[in-house]
Amino acid sequence: MPVVSVSMPTELLERLDALAEEYDYTGRSEVVREGARTLLSEFDDEGLEERPLAATVSVYSAFGTRGDEHRIAALRHEHEELLVSSDHSHVDDYCLDTFVLEGTLSDVSTFVGSCRALEGVETVEYSLVPLDDVGRRRAD
């Protein structure tokens, strides 16, 4: 198996090691492999491909980093054709940017990946709702 070198902050490494110990993983490599598999399969749902989707995307970043706010604003403009709405809030010592998108799985996954790639972003969470199911549910 090839060996890959990864840089990460000490706090993240400590959390990774604690998780490996708590859940009886053989080591951090096993945890990282599982995380990579999970990330790679995250948007691999053939049942959602080419269907119209609504998505909410929450982006958490440290408060007070002006460069982060500019990068998120640039991302918002870059994907404005998908955006239905966006909101910027302060929660504790963090900025919380919430986006509502309308598009395909490919569109949403590109947006989420771009958010995760931004320097200073700590967490990106999202949820998906197939829009073609919404009308059917009301009729039932």
Q: Which sequence spans correspond to the domains of the chain?
A: 10-41, 47-131
Element at 12 (helix H, strand E): helix 10-22
CATH number of the structural domain 47-131: 3.30.70.1150
pLDDT (tens digit, 9 = 90+) per residue, 87-139?
A: 999 988 888 999 999 999 999 999 999 999 988 888 999 999 888 865 554 44
pLDDT (tens digit, 9 = 90+) per residue, 5-58?
A: 888 889 889 999 998 998 898 988 999 988 887 777 666 667 777 788 999 999
Cα-based angle 61, 64, 68 (whole degrees, multiple of 5): 50
The CA distance from 112 to 32, in Å, is 20
Q: How confident is the model at residue 64 (pLDDT cuts 50, 70, 90)?
A: low
